[in-house]
Amino acid sequence: MPKKIGSITLYSIDDLHELLGISKMTLRAYLREGRLKGRKLGVQWFVTEEAISNYFNEDVEAKEQKEEPQKIIKYVVQGVNDLVSETEVCSTISETLECLHSQAIISLFQVQITDTESDEIIEIIKARDFIDRYSNQ
């Protein structure tokens, strides 16, 4: 049972184990590593409600910070064989669709979707499949 001292509620390892269903060994490891903030009084650890709240909020904030920044993408329309050596770089989907629709034989083209910063190829897709995927957006 948590202990109340004035406006502070202190939770022991046993309290947290019962409330959260986390093993006592894991809780002690989190406290030793500093992942969960607490104080040791004598031989027993105590954690405040604020420390528990901070622990869960830090996890959410860390995940939000780890989210990848938006990639800037370019679309390279290119011929798929030696008969068509044409290549055009587009910066938007609508520009790419317009470029593909202006081609006489769409089956001779593909679209290379590339990250402009790293020049990493994200996907190579047949022109017809690109049109099917993006023309309704």
pTM of the predicted protein model: 0.49
Residues 6+ apart with CB under 8 A from 131: 97, 100, 101, 106
Distance CA 84, CA 64 (A): 45
Dihedral angle of Cα 12, 15, 19, 22, to the nearest 10 degrees: 60
Instruction: Identify the pLDDT of residue 62.
Output: 59
CATH class assigned to 3-66: mainly alpha
Nearest in space to 75 (alpha carbons), one of 103, 102, 96, 105: 96
Q: Which residues of the chain have pLDDT under 70?
A: 59-69, 137
> What per-residue confidence (pLDDT) applies to 123?
93
